[in-house]
Structure 1
Amino acid sequence: MKKTLLSACLAVLALAACDASQNRRLPGLHSSASPRLAVDPVSSEREQPPRAPLPAALTDGLPETAADVPVPTEDLVLAEPVDTLALPHEAHLYPVDHLARARALREEGDLSGALTEARRAVHDAGDDVDTSEQALDTVILLARLTDQKPLAVDAYRELAVLFPDGPEPLIQQARLLVELGDTEGALRAAESAVELDPEYPETYQVLGRAHLTAGQLDEAILRFQQTVHLDPYHGYALNNLGLAWLQAGKPEQAVEVLAQAAYLLPHVGYVHNNLGLAYERLGRLEEARMAFDTATRLSPNDPKARLNRDRLNREVHASVDVLKLLGDRQAPGCPE
């Protein structure tokens, strides 16, 4: 009887020790909150990255600090790359319309908060094509308004995946990449757009811009010529073609296409400025001055047109003064 009672006591003590061992946890390992991703660059909220779970063999009898435990390297798991566009967030008890929140915040003038909500909408859209398109369009608009063009580039990339048969998302992505100076990325996106629709003028226009930015003048001229061939009234392609001819040192060809561009785009100041440069290089100074005057009138805040006009006026006046001086020296009574 005594042995039986003693055995029962020992069993109870053993069970109690087992329960105590299972209930011991390091600070921070008992939280039931869902893992959060890294800091959101657009929002003031700071979210912590998910912590890799400790190996199961180390969950019992942990010391006071996890740093004291040597974790085997084979148990380490590399973190997945963070999606810079979709923004995960804590689960809500009831569904939240993040797109409606984004619109409301934008009306209130909180563009940063609106962008955060739009990115959350991208995350929640999942496989819903219509909702994804609306969320991505909203991200693009707000990213442009807040001068966060890389986010807009990512959104256009997602739209290209969402609608793989159309070249427009790739064209817009390439345009932004040109503005950001990523000519290699722009060329890749533009070439993909050409493959999707080889008869669409805008694909060659943006491809030409990427080549022009990269200093590849022959390729740029070819692409702009293809654009004009498909759309002879494409004023911007004509302007870019003229600019490429100017940079290639061929002002005769530049004047011809820039004059057409100025006719098609009479209210675009920089087109007239480019035409003025072409006229000036051909020595047609009066026509150059008129073109610079037009450019300055249309774009009074454009320093290039104003500087070109003032420089040309100084050069013309200097030439007139020299001619006057030479004429005076040859007048009767003047020494040779």
Structure 2
Amino acid sequence: MKNTILSACLAVLALAACDASQNRRFPGLRASASPRLANPVSSEREVSLPASPELPTMTDGLPETVKALPVAAEDLSLAEPVDALALPHEEHLYPVDHLARARALRQEEDLSGALTEARRAVHDAADDVDAAEEALDTVILLARLTGQKQLASDAYGELSRIFPDGPEPLIQQARLLLELGDTTGAFRAAETAVELDPEYPEGYQVLGRVHLTAGELDEAILRFQQAVHLDPYHGYALNNLGLALLQSGKAEQAAEVLAQASYLLPQVAYVHNNLGLAYERLGRLEEARMAFDTATRLSPNDAKARLNRDRLNRHS
């Protein structure tokens, strides 16, 4: 009997060692004032423009590298609090590497199970800063993959507590809160990020997006101008500044700014579409048509640019 128990224990330890051998750290979010964003996620927002049938696009310019995947309801453990960031779990007689389990389950495409294991790793990390950072990074990635933006936002909030001097977790949290429609929470996070690092343009960029979403155009223009002042080659901040100016009825200034954005971002279709709207507002129809043509060439599936081009062709 003792030999049987001993054999079973050895087998378990061997499995744990195999899991640990697959351990690879996810990119950390240590504070930095210069890098473009870690763990990027698409942040596109549409902004109403009363006189233009097809809406322009506001964005942070983040590539859509992480797409939410459907998760069946039965994959979720009903015994665990879904809203909790850190999941308590039963005690084990032997150490369990929950992050290794999360990675293995992700490779098996069990994203829900992987997320559960990552949240257990957050619980086990306690005051171990490095372990907590790695576990939270993993939760963020898996939460985004499963479309759980609130959980990802909570994880960024916890990272901002662990690294209180860095603005990046707060900036990422503000973007997610904007996507969730929580402009108050997004404003609070973005404003704190700006206070932490007044020289970091991304803080002003996301704070401007909050104001623009709330319809506070003067404040949005000011924040985007601050972002561009700190980084004159920030094409996405220029794009958003152009939209705020266009909504404020300053079409000539908007066209100038959007022309700069299109020069810096020649392969980004929606920037050309936005420039076309500004030219159309000014009555510069040939230039507007060229901008819409460029947008549709770059992105044939861009319905807005295609409809704007067709509408202009019909009425000119």
| TM-score bracket for this pair, using the shorter chain length | 0.7 to 0.9
Query: Following TM superposition, by how much is the alpha carbon of 1:46 offset from its aligned partner in structure 2, in angstroms?
Result: 2.4
Residues 42, 220 of structure 1: alpha-carbon distance in 2 compared, 3 angstrom cutoff: farther
**Residue 44 (structure 1) aligned to one of 66, 76, 79:** 76
Paired position in structure 2 for 1:240: 240
Secondary structure of residue in 1 paired with 2:134: helix
Paired position in structure 2 for 1:37: none
Confirm or deny: 8 A CA contact 2:136 2:159 kept in the other structure: yes
Confirm or deny: 8 A CA contact 1:160 1:169 kept in the other structure: yes
Does the alignment pair 1:310 with 2:313? no
1:1-336 maps to which residues of 2 (within 5 A)? 44-47=76-79, 84-316=84-316
Higher RCO by CA contacts (8 Å cutoff, separation 6 or greater): 2
Compare 174-183 and 135-144 and name the one that shifted more.
Answer: 174-183
Offset from partner CA, 1:149-198 (integer Å, 9 cap, x none): 10100000000000001001001101111111111111100110111011
Amino acid aligned to 2:77: E
After superposing on structure 2, the runs of 4+ consecutive aligned residues of structure 1 that deviate more than 2 Å are 41-46
| Matched residue count | 244
How far apart, in 2, do the equivalents of 1:311 and 1:145 lie? Answer: 37
Query: Following TM superposition, by how much is the alpha carbon of 1:208 offset from its aligned partner in structure 2, in angstroms?
Result: 0.2
> TM-score scaled by structure 2?
0.75
Confirm or deny: 8 A CA contact 2:83 2:151 kept in the other structure: no
Residues 295, 193 of structure 1: alpha-carbon distance in 2 compared, 3 angstrom cutoff: same
How far apart, in 1, do the equivalents of 2:125 and 2:257 lie? Answer: 47
Query: Following TM superposition, by how much is the alpha carbon of 1:307 offset from its aligned partner in structure 2, in angstroms?
Result: 1.1
Amino acid aligned to 2:125: A
Residues 42, 256 of structure 1: alpha-carbon distance in 2 compared, 3 angstrom cutoff: farther
Query: Following TM superposition, by how much is the alpha carbon of 1:249 offset from its aligned partner in structure 2, in angstroms?
Result: 1.2
Q: Please tell me whether Structure 1 or Structure 2 has the larger radius of gyration of its CA atoms.
A: 1
Amino acid aligned to 1:245: L
How far apart, in 1, do the equivalents of 2:313 and 2:112 lie? Answer: 47
Amino acid aligned to 2:254: A
Confirm or deny: 8 A CA contact 2:99 2:135 kept in the other structure: yes
Offset from partner CA, 1:39-68 (integer Å, 9 cap, x none): xx895322278xxxxxxxxxxxxxxxxxxx
Residues 92, 313 of structure 1: alpha-carbon distance in 2 compared, 3 angstrom cutoff: same
How far apart, in 2, do the equivalents of 1:165 and 1:179 lie? Answer: 25
Query: Following TM superposition, by how much is the alpha carbon of 1:83 offset from its aligned partner in structure 2, in angstroms?
Result: 6.2
For the aligned residues, what is the CA RMSD? 1.5
Offset from partner CA, 1:71-119 (integer Å, 9 cap, x none): xxxxxxxxxxx96211111112211100001111111111111111111
Query: Following TM superposition, by how much is the alpha carbon of 1:127 offset from its aligned partner in structure 2, in angstroms?
Result: 0.5
Confirm or deny: 8 A CA contact 2:199 2:230 kept in the other structure: yes
Confirm or deny: 8 A CA contact 2:129 2:162 kept in the other structure: yes
Confirm or deny: 8 A CA contact 1:269 1:295 kept in the other structure: yes
> TM-score scaled by structure 1?
0.70
Secondary structure of residue in 2 paired with 1:165: coil
How far apart, in 2, do the equivalents of 1:147 and 1:309 lie? Answer: 34
Query: Following TM superposition, by how much is the alpha carbon of 1:229 offset from its aligned partner in structure 2, in angstroms?
Result: 0.7
Query: Following TM superposition, by how much is the alpha carbon of 1:241 offset from its aligned partner in structure 2, in angstroms?
Result: 0.2
Structure 2: runs of 5+ lacking an equivalent: 1-72
Residues 44, 228 of structure 1: alpha-carbon distance in 2 compared, 3 angstrom cutoff: closer
How far apart, in 1, do the equivalents of 2:87 and 2:264 lie? Answer: 44
Residues 290, 48 of structure 1: alpha-carbon distance in 2 compared, 3 angstrom cutoff: closer
Compare 218-227 and 109-118 and name the one that shifted more.
Answer: 109-118
Residues 143, 183 of structure 1: alpha-carbon distance in 2 compared, 3 angstrom cutoff: same
Confirm or deny: 8 A CA contact 1:43 1:116 kept in the other structure: no
Secondary structure of residue in 1 paired with 2:315: helix
Percent identity over the alignment?
83
Confirm or deny: 8 A CA contact 1:159 1:169 kept in the other structure: yes
